[in-house]
Amino acid sequence: MADWIDALLFWVLPIVSLLLAFLAAIMFAGNLALFTRWRGGELSPDEEEPSVSVLIPARDEAAGIGNCVSAVLANTGVVLEVVVLDDGSTDGTGEIVAEIGQADPRVRLVKGIALPTGWNGKQHACFRLASEARYELILFLDADVRLTPTALQQLTRRKAQYGVSGPAKDEPIALLSAFPKQETGTLFEKMLIPMMHYILLCYLPFSRMRASTHPAYASGCGQLFITDRQSYQRSGTHESIRASRHDGLMLPKKYREQGMLTDCVDGAALATCRMYTSAGTVVQGLLKNASEGIANRRLLVPFTVLLGGANLLPYVTLGYGWFRGNQDGHSVATIAAVSLSVGAIVLSHLPRWVATRKLRQSVLGAILHPFAIAVFLLLQWWAFFNSLRGKQVAWRGRQS
């Protein structure tokens, strides 16, 4: 083997992988505290209860819509209404909501209409729901999310806070997103669902996000957003992202493009969600909006380098170092080179292991972390080539 190739595999790449894993682990450690240690607070006895319109787009959600609405209605410390849009369901979703509404006047059902050309189904449903909201505070909620009884009170308190440093100091939070605790059942769920937290906490600088309204720091979880009517209108509403499938990223970006501050926080104590229930739906879910996230010309190669270099490359260099040691004897140099790769592997796993405790994620998923990275990157490249061919994954019976 050429000397330069040997040097690359033996020294250069192990050092690169160690540095990449170290940077991701350091970013995760700093972000985790900012993500989880936020204070929504509780109302003081003499403080007026906030009024919130909870807006739920629902398409074939009969299995869970009753539990979703009931969990919202159980909230205390707020005045609330629940508006559900039945978006062409064929499983009785609308009938379930209508029955709940008969027993509780805080619940209203809105019937869906034919999807206009150029609109994504969820974005159109949210747009129509916002026009039905009676209150100034608006919370968009996916039908598979279950709120805890104090969630709305804590979210409204957090939403009322301001930026704390930099250009965004004293800027009010216009759009707040909370990441529910993600419940997982199947192997693919345990491996891949926690990747949303891994990418968020390892590669988004939270301190900069909260000190700036720059669109580059836009991030959120489309399962749960809270905003106010004035800010929502200023952002352009969901009409500004009407063709998007990735409201978790694109809606905060629109707010930031208008100079407004957005934030995202850990919502594990406020809500739970079972996003997917099988390997097939996990794959479909990751593919459907990947091109608006990582799977595009601007980000795909950098993230392949960052994720692959920190999490997959160390196994390649470890294998080569071990092979070299068996060939040439386990010299001090060989042990040092192997140690670099082992160190990179330990650091690359560390965020997932910390997340099993701090974010209550799957231990099995943490064990299989390198496989999760490999599958995740494969799906990103698959989505990228699908977009080049103009092919889009169907979701809930729609191509949009």
pLDDT bin (cut points 50, 70, 90) of residue 240 is very high
One domain, residues 20 and 62:
no
Per the CB < 8 A criterion, the answer to whether 308 and 377 are in contact is yes
What are the tens digits of pLDDT across the range 369-382? 999 999 999 999 99
Average pLDDT over every residue of 340-360: 95
One domain, residues 139 and 210:
yes
Is the pLDDT at 43 greater than 70, yes or no? no
One domain, residues 179 and 148:
yes
Number of domains in the chain: 2
287, part of any domain = no
- For residue 289 the two structure tokens come to 């909006």
Average pLDDT over every residue of 22-34: 96
Which residues have C-beta within 8 Å of that of residue 364, sequence separation ≥ 6? 187, 190, 191
Query: Structural domain of residue 25, as residue ranges?
Result: 3-31+297-388
One domain, residues 324 and 260:
no
Reduced to 3 states (helix: H, G, I; strand: E, B; else coil), residue 272 is strand
Spatial distance between the Cα atoms of 392 and 199, rounded to a whole number of angstroms: 23
What are the tens digits of pLDDT across the range 81-128? 999 999 999 999 999 999 999 999 999 999 999 999 999 999 999 999
Spatial distance between the Cα atoms of 166 and 185, rounded to a whole number of angstroms: 42
289, part of any domain = no
291, part of any domain = no
What are the tens digits of pLDDT across the range 289-323? 888 889 999 999 999 999 999 999 999 988 877 77
Q: What are phi and psi of 95, to 5 degrees?
A: -65, -40
Is the pLDDT at 234 greater than 90, yes or no? yes
283, part of any domain = no
One domain, residues 168 and 266:
yes
Per the CB < 8 A criterion, the answer to whether 51 and 79 are in contact is yes
Spatial distance between the Cα atoms of 353 and 340, rounded to a whole number of angstroms: 20
Residue of 274, 280, 273, 282 whose CA lies nearest to 191: 282
Q: Which comes out higher in pLDDT, residue 372 or 336?
A: 372
Q: Give the end of a domain, one of 222, 243, 276.
A: 276
- What does the pLDDT read at residue 164? 76
Helices and strands counted in the chain (H then E):
17, 8
One domain, residues 16 and 69:
no
One domain, residues 212 and 86:
yes
Q: Burial, 198: exposed, middle or buried (Cβ in 10 Å; 0-12, 13-18, 19+)?
A: buried
The domain that holds 69 is classified in CATH as: 3.90.550.10
What are the tens digits of pLDDT across the range 147-177? 999 999 999 999 998 887 778 888 899 999 9
Spatial distance between the Cα atoms of 155 and 221, rounded to a whole number of angstroms: 14
One domain, residues 259 and 318:
no
One domain, residues 111 and 48:
yes
Q: What are phi and psi of 189, to 5 degrees?
A: -65, -45
For strand 107-111 and strand 173-182, is the pairing parallel, antiparallel, or unpaired?
Answer: unpaired
One domain, residues 339 and 356:
yes
Is the pLDDT at 262 greater than 70, yes or no? yes
Angle at 103 between CA 97 and CA 105, to 5 degrees: 85
One domain, residues 241 and 317:
no
One domain, residues 113 and 49:
yes
Q: Give the end of a domain, one of 276, 309, 336.
A: 276
